[in-house]
Amino acid sequence: MSGVGAWVRYGDPLGREEVDFAARHYRVAILQPWETQAAERLKQERPDMTVLAYRCLSSARDFEPPQRCASGLTFDELRQRDWLARRRDGSLVEWSSYPGHFQARVWDPGYRVRWVEQVCEDIADTAFDGVMSDNDVFEDYYDLDLPLEGVEDAASLRRVLDGFVEQVGWGLAGVGKILVPNIAEARREPGRWEYHASWGGGFDECWLGWGEATLFDEPTSLAQVHELDGPGLSVVRTPDGGGGGSPHPLYGLAAFWVFGAGEGAYTATGHDDYSRTPWFPALDADLGAPLEAPHRQAGVWVREFEGGTAAVVLDPDRGGELDLAPGMVCPGPQGRPDGELLPRRVALAPHHGLLALRP
């Protein structure tokens, strides 16, 4: 059994049982680049799974040994080549929320060429399908306190990253791999998602909200749903706090089906909650092919499929009601259509979703 889940797993070291579980339950995996044996096992057991290696576009970490480098290049190399960003007083720029992460001079052409060269060399002979490049930023999220030496503002940094993503995409294509950037705030710039996803796909780490307590309103959420249309592989994450009792995972999954028809991959995790295998039965549910386009009725976005109905309320202030066909059920323990019987009329609260399956 495998569903639409994405396994974002670049935290603590992997366990063998996690890899076995992932092979049964996920469509996409994002691992640290040194987890080459786990990538090989996943591809052997699930050739259809897309397995990506994490690499950071924009930082170097002073605590990383060369053989376990999640950045493209090591801190020591950047220091030797003067590719660490500096403030105008000459000091290095450490990210405020991630100690030991230092801003790289991504605006230096030499850095970009060398980054692509090293990352392509690292991945070429592995089982990884490609790279998930993190920190394709839109704003100053890490208190860089712009301007810095060589870059004036966040808009200038964005334009540099536009070109850098293209360089990385072409480089990886040359060794038969794909690029899936973590594209920040694509909803704010028309065409940003489509351009940055052109080399294999895109990842939105803040889909439908910033955090468990900060989900987006309906217009903002609707501005993101085009990301599910590609190009390439679309991977989206809804924040849920990681506690297991939140309605947010099902909310995001329902929206994923309503607007994306189950294409791509979906996950829900807490902030930086990338050291486990988050899963719930509905992730394995298969609604089949869509029978209609998404439409809004009585406050609920609805879409009918061959195997059931997906429904979601994007409004943070007002819920809605939905009439179901008789006999519809919740996804069972393995995502199969053998769960609890649903009533004919269902009330959905704000920021809640539903998958109803035909038994």
Residues 197 and 342 in one domain: no
Residues 271 and 327 in one domain: no
Last residue of a domain, one of 228, 257, 281: 281
Give the separation between CA 292 and CA 258, rounded to whole angstroms.
Answer: 10
Residues 76 and 129 in one domain: yes
- pLDDT for 262 beyond 90: yes
pTM over 0.85: yes
Last residue of a domain, one of 244, 263, 281: 281
Residues 209 and 349 in one domain: no
Residues 22 and 65 in one domain: yes
Structural domain of 316: 285-359
In this structure, what are the phi and psi dihedrals at residue 35, rounded to the nearest 5 degrees? -85, 55
Residues 354 and 229 in one domain: no
User: Helices marked H in 74-217 — which ranges?
Assistant: 75-80, 109-123, 154-174, 192-196
Give the separation between CA 185 and CA 57, rounded to whole angstroms.
Answer: 16
Query: Residue 242: its pLDDT value, please?
Result: 67
Query: Residue 12: its pLDDT value, please?
Result: 87
Query: Residue 226: its pLDDT value, please?
Result: 97
Residues 119 and 268 in one domain: yes
- pLDDT for 155 beyond 90: yes
Query: Residue 103: its pLDDT value, please?
Result: 98
- pLDDT for 163 beyond 60: yes
* β-sheet bridge partners, residue 148: 151
- pLDDT for 246 beyond 90: no
Predicted confidence (pLDDT) per residue in 134-151, tens digit: 999 999 999 999 999 999
Q: Is 294 left (phi over 0), alpha (psi -120 to 50) or beta?
A: beta
Predicted confidence (pLDDT) per residue in 59-118, tens digit: 999 999 999 999 999 999 999 999 999 998 999 999 999 999 999 999 999 999 999 999
Model confidence band, residue 126 (pLDDT cutoffs 50, 70, 90): very high
- pLDDT for 256 beyond 80: yes
In this structure, what are the phi and psi dihedrals at residue 117, rounded to the nearest 5 degrees? -60, -50
Give the separation between CA 23 and CA 170, rounded to whole angstroms.
Answer: 29
Q: How many domains does the chain have?
A: 2
User: Helices marked H in the chain — which ranges?
Assistant: 16-25, 36-45, 75-80, 109-123, 154-174, 192-196, 218-222, 248-260
Residue 232 burial (CB count, 10 A): 18
Residues 70 and 16 in one domain: yes
Last residue of a domain, one of 281, 309, 331: 281
Residues 334 and 198 in one domain: no
User: What average pLDDT does the segment 236-250 reach?
Assistant: 85
Query: Residue 211: its pLDDT value, please?
Result: 85
In this structure, what CATH number is given to the domain that contains residue 74? 3.20.20.70
Residues 314 and 352 in one domain: yes
Residues 202 and 347 in one domain: no
Residues 177 and 49 in one domain: yes
Predicted confidence (pLDDT) per residue in 293-326, tens digit: 999 999 999 999 999 999 999 999 999 999 999 9
Q: Quickly list DSSP for 133-164.
A: EE-B-SS-TT---S-BTTB-SHHHHHHHHHHH
In this structure, what CATH number is given to the domain that contains residue 319? 2.60.40
- pLDDT for 22 beyond 80: yes
Query: Residue 11: its pLDDT value, please?
Result: 87
Query: Residue 1: its pLDDT value, please?
Result: 54
Give the separation between CA 330 and CA 305, rounded to whole angstroms.
Answer: 15
Q: What is the mean pLDDT of the chain?
A: 95
State both tokens at 320: 């809605």
Model confidence band, residue 244 (pLDDT cutoffs 50, 70, 90): low
In this structure, what are the phi and psi dihedrals at residue 97, rounded to the nearest 5 degrees? -95, 0
